[in-house]
């Protein structure tokens, strides 16, 4: 994963810088997201590692993307095809999204709870995280009944484990030491 990120970072940064310059960050995010989905397609994936010439591969990829990708996006695809890097488009898209969130002072937080959170609980979590992180927070909520109760919140490097399972695990560790 780290190697893919290292390879993808210059492409994501160049695309982001261009998008900011053109005031088209949102449209670029959508283009990259779509191109990433195309690159993950079962039919396309073998072609990315196959014996197609880079121009043929770029033309095929652009043809599949159609109107979802503009002329500048076509240029990025051509450059990535020439360098044999179309396979890293999903990572480029993720990095681009991180740059976009950084620009907008936004962050996504994954909240895994034992039961479904009410809108009031989600609002409380969001407000608390916004104060702590000094950023606008978008919550991605999911349910995992194995937590028994409480929730685990993850955003970037920050992990807050307020689950009953986590508390029992920490208590067990203390008792064993």
Mean pLDDT for all residues in the chain: 91
Shared-domain flag, residues 128 and 87: no
- Distance between CA atoms of residues 15 and 83, nearest Å: 16
Note down the domain range covering 140: 106-176
pLDDT digits (tens, 9 = 90+) for 42-65: 888 888 877 678 888 889 888 999
Residue 34 has pLDDT above 60, yes or no: yes
Position 3 scores a pLDDT of 85
Shared-domain flag, residues 94 and 143: no
pLDDT digits (tens, 9 = 90+) for 106-153: 889 999 999 999 999 999 999 999 999 999 999 999 999 999 999 999
Indicate the pTM of the whole model: 0.69
Shared-domain flag, residues 160 and 97: no
DSSP 79-110: HHHHTT-GGGHHHHHHHHHHHHHHHTTEEEEE
Q: Which of 74, 101, 128 is the last residue of a domain?
A: 101
* Beta strand extents in the chain (DSSP E only): 106-113, 136-143, 151-155, 158-161
pLDDT band of 31, cuts 50, 70, 90: very high
Shared-domain flag, residues 59 and 125: no
Domain count, the chain: 2
């Amino acid at each position: 994963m780290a190697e893919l990120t290292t390879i993808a970072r210059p492409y994501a940064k160049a695309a982001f810088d261009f998008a900011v310059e053109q005031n088209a960050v949102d449209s670029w995010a959508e283009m990259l997201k779509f191109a990433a989905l195309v690159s993950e397609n079962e039919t396309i994936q073998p072609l990315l590692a196959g014996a197609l010439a880079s121009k043929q591969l770029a033309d095929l990829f652009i043809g599949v993307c159609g109107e979802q990708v503009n002329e500048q996006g076509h240029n990025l695809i051509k450059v990535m095809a020439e360098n044999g890097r179309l396979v890293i488009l999903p990572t480029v898209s993720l990095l681009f999204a991180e740059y976009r969130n950084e620009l907008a002072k936004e962050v996504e937080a994954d909240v895994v709870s034992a039961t479904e959170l009410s809108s009031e609980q989600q609002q409380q979590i969001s407000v608390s995280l916004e104060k702590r992180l000094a950023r606008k927070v978008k919550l991605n909520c999911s349910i995992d009944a194995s937590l028994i109760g409480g929730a685990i919140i993850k955003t970037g490097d920050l992990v807050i484990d307020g689950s009953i399972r986590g508390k029992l695990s920490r208590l067990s560790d203390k008792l064993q030491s």
